[in-house]
Amino acid sequence: QVQLVESGGGLVQAGGSLTLSCAASGRTISSYGVGWFRQAPGKEREFVAAITLRSGAITSYADSVKGRFTISRDNAKNTVYLQMNSLKPEDTAAYYCAANVLGYGFRDEARYEYWGQGTQVTVSS
C-alpha cells in the first residue's frame, strides 16, 4: 500500500553527523507510525527510533542512541528523517525505516507492516 525508500547513508568519520531520509509514496505518510531499525553484519536487527503518526508528538529511542539521534517527520514532504550526531563505529549498520498502520511508535519490529530496502551507514574510527 505504501512504498518506503531510505536514502542518505554513506561513510563518515567517528564524531561526525549524517541524516537519513525515509520517503513514502503511494499513500501519505502522515497516517503511519514510523520506526528506524538497523542491522550490522552477523547481528540481529535492532530498534533505533520511532515516531507516532501525524504531528509526531511522541518519539522513542534506543538507549544506545538517545541524546545523539533525532527522529522527525515532515508530512508535507511525505518524509521521515533520522538525524544522527556524534556517530560511533558501533553505529555502523544497514538502516531501515518501517511503517505501521496503527500509528504508534512501536519498538517491536513485528508491529510494522511496511519496510524500505535499507541504506548503509559506515562510521570509521
Amino acid making up residue 66: K
Tens digits of residue pLDDT in 104-120: 999 999 999 999 999 99
Q: Rounded to an integer, what distance in angstroms lies between the CA atom of residue 117 and that of residue 3?
A: 10
Q: How many Cα atoms within 13 Å fall on the side-chain side of residue 97? A: 28
pLDDT of residue 1: 84
Summarised one tens digit per residue, pLDDT across range 31-88 is 999 999 999 999 999 999 999 999 999 999 999 999 999 999 999 999 999 999 999 9
C-alpha distances in Å from residue 43, one per residue of 6, 39, 40, 71, 89: 20, 6, 5, 23, 15
CA 38/CA 73 separation, integer angstroms? 19
